[in-house]
């Protein structure tokens, strides 16, 4: 790791002030940044430490919703009663991420800024193969090589990587807003629009861009609206713990309480959906909300048979790569399972 100059910020505003210099990086937990430095994914001449800023801490009620400070750790969020009660999908996503010791350091501010786990990207420099993210315009070794874990939506010939964050999927599903502070002052970014697919970035004329966060901006916290009903986060992975998702799904379901059977979870003909939200993870370079399904789900019985075709229609635009067609089926099933669990039917 190349050495750097270090300072502790006294306020969020003063930290942002140092970011006008593009050679300055922010460190909070550091679980991702230090590995970027080691691999040569990022280099900084100066690192400003925001870890001591109490103004960025805390998890509290905010009207009907919640406010979570950017420095809240994944373990703090995952076990906080306000989050487990009001945003269960987020709590579950946090506790299914990484390991217990990493979750004690990793913050929710940094988590959504983690970069892809693509092994062609996460190699030590000098890279022996092309990678558009490491050497813009060089091409994508994964597209020509192994890509079974890569995107089924929004990829381009330049890059087929996915965003691996679990909490980001729950935040997008919950319609959370990121609060950011920049040189021009504070603003908010809806989490469902925070990340960009490769295609969205290319169409915007900024093919290297991965988020809507501007250079020099700092995430200071998140606002979550009032509880969206029963929630679930389903993570499908190659081992039961401490592994990134192959696919994941976050869902929130409100059942129509007026219909008979709604209070008998799992019973034949049980409840119909009044409103639902669902997002997929690790299928694109952004959490993938299934808007078409959300529009169609009200009135749908909470059964696997009824939900599956709705999700299939909403995923009709999937464009799997030669090696990852299985992810379309796996993501569909994860979405159905998340909806069933959120609705109390499994």
Partner 1 sequence: MTIEFTRRVEVTLWLNGRDLTTVVSPRTTLLDWLREDIGLTGAKKGCNEGACGTCTVLVDGRRMNGCLTLVVQCEGRSVTTVEGLAGADGALHPVQRAFAEFDAFQCGYCTPGQLLSAVACIAEGHAADDASVREWMSGNICRCSAYPQITAAVLAAAREEPGR
Q: Which is nearer to partner 1, 104 or 323 (CB)?
A: 104
**Minimum distance from CB of 178 to partner 1 (Å)?**
24
Contacting partner 1 (CB under 8 A), which of 12, 15, 178, 293?
Answer: 15
Instruction: Give the distance from CA 22 to its chain's centroid.
Output: 25
Asked if 83 and 233 count as a contact pair (C-beta separation under 8 A), the reply is no
Closest CA to 256 of 301, 293, 290, 295: 301
> How far apart are the C-alpha atoms of 253 and 302, rounded to whole Å?
9
CA atoms within 13 A on the CB side of 266: 3
Contact flag: residue 84 with partner 1 (CB under 8 A) = no
* Number of residues binding to partner 1, judged by CB under 8 A: 38
Contact flag: residue 323 with partner 1 (CB under 8 A) = no
Contacting partner 1 (CB under 8 A), which of 20, 100, 208, 267?
Answer: 100
> Hey, which residues between 153 and 212 contact partner 1 (CB under 8 A)?
none
Contact flag: residue 22 with partner 1 (CB under 8 A) = no
Contact flag: residue 6 with partner 1 (CB under 8 A) = yes
Contact flag: residue 5 with partner 1 (CB under 8 A) = yes
Asked if 207 and 136 count as a contact pair (C-beta separation under 8 A), the reply is yes
> Hey, which residues between 223 and 282 contact partner 1 (CB under 8 A)?
240-242
Residue 342 CA: distances (Å) to CA of 88, 220, 265, 286, 302: 9, 29, 11, 22, 10
Contacting partner 1 (CB under 8 A), which of 20, 22, 64, 99?
Answer: 99
Contact flag: residue 60 with partner 1 (CB under 8 A) = no
**Minimum distance from CB of 127 to partner 1 (Å)?**
17
> Hey, which residues between 105 and 124 contact partner 1 (CB under 8 A)?
105
Question: To which residue do tokens 């409840």 refer?
Answer: 271
Residue 152 CA: distances (Å) to CA of 175, 276, 303, 328: 23, 23, 26, 7
Q: Which is nearer to partner 1, 19 or 262 (CB)?
A: 19
Asked if 207 and 220 count as a contact pair (C-beta separation under 8 A), the reply is no
Q: Would you say how long the chain is, in residues?
A: 346
**Minimum distance from CB of 93 to partner 1 (Å)?**
15
Residues that bind partner 1 (CB under 8 A): 1-11, 14-15, 17-18, 27, 29-31, 34-35, 37-38, 46-49, 51, 98-102, 104-105, 240-242
């Amino acid at each position: 790791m190349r050495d750097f100059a270090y300072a502790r910020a006294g306020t969020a505003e003063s930290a942002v002030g140092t970011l006008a210099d593009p050679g300055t990086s922010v460190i909070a937990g550091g679980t991702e940044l230090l590995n970027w430095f080691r691999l040569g994914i990022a280099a900084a001449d100066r690192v400003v430490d925001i870890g001591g800023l109490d103004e960025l801490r805390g998890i509290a009620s905010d009207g009907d919703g919640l406010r979570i400070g950017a420095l809240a750790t994944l373990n703090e969020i995952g076990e906080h009663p306000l989050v487990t009660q009001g945003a269960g999908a987020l709590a579950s996503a946090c506790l299914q991420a990484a390991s217990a010791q990493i979750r004690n350091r990793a913050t929710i501010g940094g988590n959504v800024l983690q970069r892809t786990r693509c092994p062609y990207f996460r190699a030590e420099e000098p890279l022996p193969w092309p990678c558009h993210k490491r050497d813009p315009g060089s091409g994508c070794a994964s597209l020509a090589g192994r890509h079974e874990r890569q995107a089924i939506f929004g990829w381009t010939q330049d890059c087929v990587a996915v965003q691996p964050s679990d909490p980001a999927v729950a935040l997008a599903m919950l319609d959370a807003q990121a609060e950011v502070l920049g040189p021009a002052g504070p603003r908010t970014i809806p989490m469902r629009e925070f990340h960009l697919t490769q295609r969205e970035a290319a169409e915007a004329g900024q093919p290297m861009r991965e988020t809507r966060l501007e250079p020099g901006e700092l995430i200071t916290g998140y606002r979550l609206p009032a509880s969206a009903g029963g929630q679930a986060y389903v993570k499908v992975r190659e081992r039961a713990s401490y592994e990134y998702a192959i696919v994941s799904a976050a869902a929130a379901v409100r059942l129509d309480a007026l219909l008979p059977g709604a209070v008998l979870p799992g019973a034949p003909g049980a409840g119909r959906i009044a409103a639902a939200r669902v997002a997929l993870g690790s299928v694109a370079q952004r959490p993938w909300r299934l808007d078409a399904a959300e529009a169609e789900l009200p009135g749908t019985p909470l059964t696997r048979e009824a939900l599956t075709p709705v999700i299939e229609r909403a995923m009709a635009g999937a464009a799997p790569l030669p090696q990852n067609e299985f992810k379309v089926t796996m993501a569909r099933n994860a979405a159905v399972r998340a909806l069933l669990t959120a609705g109390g039917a499994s």
